[in-house]
């Protein structure tokens, strides 16, 4: 468990599940995608959820008020991975996109960045030779150095200079630096808004951007002691202890997440 003092918080996963089952109709489960539902791959375009995940999420959605994936990937990418899911909500690009009634709705303030981001991606491809991988995501660009970690400083420097020049934002992640629009939106803000009328929420994350989502659960608990938030980290050695130490519980891998949820479903 995290060392943060949380006197009202249950001490174990058993307690957390018991509380969740008791408040199922007011509970939301949130999941990050990469590293949480899907194992890390060298090529970001080939990552897939572990086979058990889609079924488990759909079964969970039948038991609780809401299940949602909150990712830095575009919604259109997530849809290709979860095409069969009917009851799982999708937030993409850190919440700049949300799937609503079958359509991708984009935060209006971000729309003007579509063209600048396409230009940025083209410039990055010219400036940063392979194996740096430039992932263009319509409203942001991720610069991956997983295949050449020794070039992290070069990639980071290019991203920071470009962000400064064009007044854009930077988000660091696992072997990646991302350039984003200067629009006030992150996973923490998604969770803050989404848990407003809930009694209980779980968030599963593995990366720096997920810590803001954990913080949103803590903040909600601070103003409403009846609210119960459970922050679950999925272990990796790339973020050091940063994500795990901010969580209530750490699971070993996306496969362990699927197993943990399957066991939890047996308690309803």
What residues make contact with ligand L263DTV3 under the rule CB under 6 A? 32-35, 40-42, 44, 47, 71-73, 135, 142, 144, 146, 173-176, 178, 207
- The distance of closest approach from Cβ of residue 38 to ligand L263DTV3 in the complex, given in angstroms and rounded to an integer, is 6
The whole-angstrom separation of Cα 218 and Cα 211 is 11
- The distance of closest approach from Cβ of residue 73 to ligand L263DTV3 in the complex, given in angstroms and rounded to an integer, is 5
CB of 45 or CB of 167, closer to ligand L263DTV3: 45
CB of 36 or CB of 221, closer to ligand L263DTV3: 36
- The distance of closest approach from Cβ of residue 221 to ligand L263DTV3 in the complex, given in angstroms and rounded to an integer, is 23
- The distance of closest approach from Cβ of residue 33 to ligand L263DTV3 in the complex, given in angstroms and rounded to an integer, is 3
Q: By the 8 A CB rule, do 154 and 131 touch?
A: no
- The distance of closest approach from Cβ of residue 226 to ligand L263DTV3 in the complex, given in angstroms and rounded to an integer, is 29
CB of 97 or CB of 135, closer to ligand L263DTV3: 135
CB of 21 or CB of 189, closer to ligand L263DTV3: 189
Closest CA to 9 of 185, 247, 178: 247
- The distance of closest approach from Cβ of residue 177 to ligand L263DTV3 in the complex, given in angstroms and rounded to an integer, is 9
CB of 199 or CB of 205, closer to ligand L263DTV3: 205
CB of 34 or CB of 97, closer to ligand L263DTV3: 34
- DSSP characters over the chain: --SS--TTS-SSHHHHHHHHHHTGGGEEEEE-SBTTTB---SSGGG----TTHHHHHHHHHTTSSEEEEE-SS-HHHHHHHSTT-SSEEEEEGGGTEEEETTEEEE-GGGGGGHHHHHHHHHHHHHHS-TTSEEEE-SS-EEEE-TT-GGGHHHHHHHHHHHHHHHT-EEEEETTEEEEE-S-S--HHHHHHHHTTT-SEEEEEE-SHHHHHHHHHHHHHHHH-TT-EEEEEEE--SSSTTHHHHTSSEEESSHHHHHHHHHHHHTT-
- The distance of closest approach from Cβ of residue 188 to ligand L263DTV3 in the complex, given in angstroms and rounded to an integer, is 13
The whole-angstrom separation of Cα 86 and Cα 84 is 6
CB of 16 or CB of 90, closer to ligand L263DTV3: 90
């Amino acid at each position: 468990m995290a060392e943060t003092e949380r006197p009202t918080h249950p001490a174990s996963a058993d307690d957390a599940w018991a509380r969740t089952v008791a408040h199922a109709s007011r509970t939301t489960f949130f999941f990050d995608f990469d590293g949480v539902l899907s194992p890390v791959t060298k090529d970001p375009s080939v990552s897939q959820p572990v086979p058990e995940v889609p079924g488990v999420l759909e079964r969970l959605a039948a038991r609780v008020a809401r299940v949602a994936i909150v990712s830095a990937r575009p919604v259109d990418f997530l849809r290709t991975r979860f095409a069969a899911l009917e009851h799982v909500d999708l937030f993409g690009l850190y919440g700049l996109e949300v799937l609503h009634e079958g359509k991708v709705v984009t935060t209006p303030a971000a729309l003007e960045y579509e063209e600048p981001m396409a230009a940025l991606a083209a410039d990055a491809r010219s400036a940063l030779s392979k194996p740096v991988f430039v992932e263009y995501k319509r409203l942001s660009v991720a610069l991956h150095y997983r295949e050449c970690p020794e070039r992290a400083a070069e990639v980071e420097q290019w991203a920071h200079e470009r962000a400064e020049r064009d007044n854009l934002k930077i988000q660091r992640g696992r072997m990646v630096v991302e350039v984003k629009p200067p629009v006030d939106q992150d996973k923490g803000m998604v969770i803050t808004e989404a848990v407003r009328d809930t009694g209980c929420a779980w968030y599963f994350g593995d990366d720096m951007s997920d810590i803001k989502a954990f913080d949103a659960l803590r903040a909600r608990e601070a103003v409403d002691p009846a609210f119960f938030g459970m922050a679950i980290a999925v272990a990796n050695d790339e973020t050091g202890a940063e994500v795990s130490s901010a969580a209530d519980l750490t699971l070993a891998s996306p496969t362990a997440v699927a197993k943990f949820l399957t066991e939890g479903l047996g308690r309803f």
